[in-house]
Amino acid sequence: SYPNPLQDNPAYSAVKQYFVNDDDTVTQKIVVHKDSPRGVHFRRAGPRQRVYFESDEVHACIVTCGGLCPGLNTVIREIVCGLCHMYGVKKILGIDGGYRGFYSKNTVTLTPKVVNDIHKRGGTVLGTSRGGHDTSKIVDSIQDRGINQVYILGGDGTQRGAAVIFEADQYNQGLVKDASI
């Protein structure tokens, strides 16, 4: 792991006091009976003191899938600006056309300048598609391009697809013995 770049950024000096402890959790149910079991807890989101990537080695990509919803362009913009300005990431790729864009080679380089005004437009500047993708081609494309961070924006179907892609990638790397692909 590496020190979080936010620690050295004067614009985010106040963040130091807000780093999330790795042991912090958020409970699923706020109110429980005093005699009930502890219940389900989730890992708390937020900046950590240490990150698991070196900014210069990051090659990130963003893809939007499924139906359109308000705010997709804003999310794209904030991911790009956050990665660039807060973490010093320089290589960010937009995948055009949803999951199928991975293997049809439809991409756009994303920089803060490129995404500066996209939050004022509706839809998604990256385009989208629903279902019908080839998981093995997506995994091959991610590996061939050297992408090591993938930001997938979409609903429940999109997230199920992301889980299948993750399992297939783990299988390809020999980290799991069975992948449901």
pLDDT at 41: 81
Contact yes or no for 98/63 (Cβ under 8 A): yes
* Cα–Cα dist 115/12, whole Å: 22
Q: What is the pTM of this model?
A: 0.80
Residue-averaged pLDDT of the chain: 84
Query: What is residue 105's DSSP assignment?
Result: T
Domain ranges of the chain: 1-51, 52-180
pLDDT at 177: 57
Nearest to 155 by CA among 95, 68, 78, 73: 68
* 10-residue averages of pLDDT along the chain (181 residues): 81 67 82 72 82 92 88 94 92 94 88 95 87 86 93 89 85 58 45
pLDDT at 166: 87
pLDDT at 181: 45
Task: Provide the CB-side half-sphere exposure for 142 (13 A, CA).
Answer: 26
pLDDT at 122: 86
CATH code of domain 52-180: 3.40.50.450
For the record, the structure tokens of 68 come out as 């359109």
Query: What confidence tens digit (pLDDT) does each residue in 63-110 have?
Result: 999 888 888 999 999 999 999 998 999 999 999 999 999 988 779 999
The CA dihedral of 144, 84, 46, 9, to the nearest 10 degrees, is 140
